[in-house]
Chain A
Amino acid sequence: MTRRELTCEEVIEQLFDYLDREVSSQHRADIERHLERCRDCFSRAEFEKRLRAKVEKSVSVQAPQRLRRRVKDLLDRFDTDETNSTN
């Protein structure tokens, strides 16, 4: 038995669920089959994927040295406390 093909409208409606990996593997395969055959939906999916990758990358910001020092001091303090309490 062949499964009913998804329409463009259905694919676009579920596109983000698909990109977020929130669809079942069967459903995922159905969407992918549509994307292989439909240029419009494929372009849309590619666009959203690339935009999303840019959003993800946008959080790569250099942490200030001050924060690194603060973290080191914090860990030193924990270590000192631990050493004092075990001895």
Chain B
Amino acid sequence: MSASSSSGDGLSRQRRRQWFEHEIERLMDRLYGTALRLTRHPDDAEDIVAESIGKAWTKLDELRDPERFEGWLFHILNNTFINEWRRRQCRPKLADDPDNCEPDDLDATHFSLFQQLHQPFLLWWGSTEDRFLNELLQDDLQQALDALPDPYRVIVVFVEVQGCTYGEVAELLGIPLGTVRSRLSRGRAMLQKVLWKQAREAGFTVDCRGTEGKPS
């Protein structure tokens, strides 16, 4: 190898590394936050982020369009998580059989927060939905997401947080599209039910409707 080409390689490698690190830094909090919601455990989240970044760095040549780096990296993160998740499952097909890990109190196929909150008439002081959303904190959402069983939480995170299409999720998890739909809809209902339960426990009330004190 000639001196000039070797120093050229060194320079471009250095530039590549700079670019890569800059991109990683920009995405780091979201990578970590997403991994944390997927795994629920800080140590596992760190492992998955580090492994994904390592993979991305070694496979960087495969990325044709640098503009798509973000989506590409999150795709690697998802796959890394899924591989690890599968590896850890004692029952090999748990991903396809979520019913046996679903707590009874989360049974919420059709639960809708909106229906709990919505007033059929307009209130001059603003809607209950607005008040609910305004009082909802990041911690509440994190707790509620973490309360969902894995097969549901993972799909909610893929779709609502990462904006994956149903087709992408089906491919990632190796499950039929219909299963993605039904689990997503159930996961959302569960999430809303947990948020509702948390809010009521924290003293949130729906005024003028008389639902207080009724068993749900």
A residues in contact (CB < 8 Å) with B: 16, 20-22, 40, 43-44, 47-48, 50-52, 54-64, 66-68, 70-72, 74-75, 78-79, 82, 86
Contact = CB atoms under 8 A, between A and B. Distances in A.
Contact of A43 (B21, B129, B184): B129
B141 A58 contact: yes
Interface in B87-135: 113-114, 117-118, 127, 129, 133
Contact of A50 (B54, B133, B188): B133
Interface stretch (B26-34, B65-73, B78-86, B204-212): B26-34
B166 A63 contact: no
Contacts of A62: 29, 32
Given A56-B161, A66-B46, A67-B46, A61 B32 contact: yes
Nearest to B159: A20
Given A22-B165, A60-B29, A63-B32, A71 B141 contact: no
- From A50, A61, A78, name the one whose CB has the most chain B CB atoms within 10 angstroms: A61
B200 interface: no
B54 A59 contact: no
Nearest to B21: A75
Nearest to A68: B28
Chain B: number of interface residues, binned into ranges:
35 or more
Given A58-B138, A70-B46, A71-B53, A47 B114 contact: yes
Contacts of B21: 72, 75
B30 to A, nearest CB: 6
A67 B160 contact: no
A43 B136 CA distance: 18
Contacts of A48: 114
Contact of B185 (A16, A43, A58): A16
B190 interface: no
Given A58-B145, A59-B161, A61-B36, A67 B49 contact: yes
